[in-house]
Amino acid sequence: MKYTIREARREDMDDVLELIKELAEHENHLDDVEVSVADLEKEGFDNGNFKCFVADVEGKIEGMALVYFRFSTWKGRTVHLEDLIVREKMRGTGLGGALYQQVVKYGHEHGVKRIEWVVSEGNRNAIEFYENTGAEIKESWKTVHMEESGIQKNIGE
């Protein structure tokens, strides 16, 4: 199988959204996906709020990794890996590992002292893979989300 890991282009965003929806459906959260191709194009290419890498297999996008910079009060500038998705039929082919290495390379090129992401505790294969690459699963830290209803509640609407 011949593939290329490259920076995503605006015209790849249809495929990127398809991958996002595929993951959401796999996790039984398809109805929670609100982002659109227009959102991805605006935020990624017009506003520069994220960088996306894609796995291009003979002209078809089969995987993606979306990252952005954060700031840690302890470490300074960090890279956050929002999602790394490989189509189910392409898992086990090395595409996920290649995308992951591209993210690590990107972080290194930008001189960050930390790359961070969240992994589902039920995703044992990913956890084992990450640990084997030197990543540490922080069991004592909990991810916190405030959804739109919580935001509205806190601003008094």
Determine the angle formed by the axes of helices 95-109 and 124-132, rounding to 10 degrees: 50
> What are the C-alpha distances in Å from 55 to residues 29, 41, 121?
24, 18, 25
SS3 (DSSP) at 71: strand
CA angle 133, 138, 143 (to 5 degrees): 120
Is residue 130 flagged as an active site residue? Answer: yes
Choice among 3, 100, 106, 130 that is catalytic: 130
**Which residues have a catalytic role annotated?**
130
